[in-house]
Structure 1
């Protein structure tokens, strides 16, 4: 076993313990937390709950608050930008995509890039989509928890910044590369590819792919946890999905 793979496994173990701690807190704090329809005022305005509860929600849905919590630092509320997609790093990745307090069928879309690919092209268009979705929000991670999908950015060049391993977790796990999109529901990987809807990487095709991905989920399909991209097939839709009962969730 390499040092890198050993460090990643240690990180997984630590995150599992922290995830269980947060799950226990969530069950205790939000067992009676109201469930609002997606078009409710709560999806557009700050939650009408006390500051302590907002902080606990932030730990489960905001990558910045969760990351600071895991590092032992204080940042009590989501203050993510309403016009720039939040970054997720290796440290909090698995906990965040589990969507402990989000809509049960919310799709988490992870946009992979690095410094060499910059943030132009398709990612710029998807940033604009994010800005349109969140233009009236001052705590977008909290206020978007009932949205049908959420957007996150993952920078391969810096994803390991707060960990004790060198190199990207998603490169190690899935062989991802800049320009790829990954889609998850409740921690299950349902899509990993360069193209959306089989055609392009536009925001319009992203939304079409989200619909298709949700339909696949309803049929009980998702990719295995150890799925790795094969670059000979990068410009074609991933041809095979697997029954969810065959593979454990993250």
Structure 2
């Protein structure tokens, strides 16, 4: 059985603290990401993805837009709800979650800290409303239709479970993979549900969709409250 060496918690485990370190700002306040998933900016994105951590831990990025908040409102609500549930009782969530099976994060395309274009747009052609999943700095999943159905807590957890299984099997997406670069009309409020589904499936990407059937159902244990 493979064992992982436990490493000491690092300020770099928190994207906000890491950003302050890079910008040579005071980090004594530490991690205080208690209410919402921490916001990752282009200032620290690459270093944050490369921070040594449990190689099976999945980093779940919700791609949001502060300029068009309604375009990712459902996603933000889902991430915030699940995050608050999992982090309850933790004073420094980013430090205390290093052994969790997954972490929830946000990436704002319109943050003033982003490059032009934002790094994830340049590399993967992402758009608001998408979810990306990484492990060990490599992309496992990207899309707007979780678990093949849509946005819900159950579908998100199933998709994370599938991503963890893909990671264990070594199924990562190609380094040069790009999603659709055309902003779809599903962001509007007057699209028929069937039309939205078709468009969303067009920008879905996952190695598991090509290699592994949808047969996993996993329930994650409650996080440790240290």
TM-score by length of 2: 0.75
State the Cα deviation string for residues 182-228 of structure 1 (Å, max 9, x = none): 00001010101111101112121110001111111122110122211
State the Cα deviation string for residues 15-67 of structure 1 (Å, max 9, x = none): xxxxxxxxxxxxxxxxxx9729xxxxxxxxxxxxxxxx76xx01x21001100
What residue number does 1:14 align with? none
Q: How far apart in 2 are the matches of 1:240 and 1:103?
A: 21
Paired residue secondary structure (1:120): helix
Q: How far apart in 1 are the matches of 2:163 and 2:35?
A: 25
What residue number does 1:72 align with? 24
Counterpart contact for 1:83–1:128, Cα < 8 Å: no
Matched, 1:206 2:156: yes
Paired residue secondary structure (1:189): strand
What residue number does 2:205 align with? 238
TM-score by length of 1: 0.68
Structure 2 residue runs of 5 or longer lacking an equivalent are 183-197, 212-226
Paired residue secondary structure (1:222): coil
Moved more, 124-133 or 228-237: 228-237
What residue number does 1:17 align with? none
Structure 1 residue runs of 5 or longer lacking an equivalent are 1-32, 37-52, 244-250
Return closer, same or farther for 1:202/1:99 CA change in 2, 3 Å cut-off. Answer: farther
Tell me the matched-pair count. Answer: 188
Paired residue secondary structure (1:147): coil
Q: How far apart in 2 are the matches of 1:239 and 1:150?
A: 19
Which of the residues 87, 98, 105 maps onto 1:145?
A: 98
1:151-162 matched pairs, under 5 angstroms? 151-158=104-111, 161-162=112-113
Q: How far apart in 2 are the matches of 1:84 and 1:143?
A: 15
Paired residue secondary structure (2:21): helix
Q: Which structure has the higher relative contact order (CA within 8 Å, separation 6+)?
A: 2
Counterpart contact for 2:62–2:75, Cα < 8 Å: no
What residue number does 1:120 align with? 73
State the Cα deviation string for residues 80-105 of structure 1 (Å, max 9, x = none): 232211100011111212241x3221
The answer to which structure has the higher helix fraction is: 1
Give how far 1:240 is off.
4.6
Return closer, same or farther for 1:82/1:217 CA change in 2, 3 Å cut-off. Answer: same
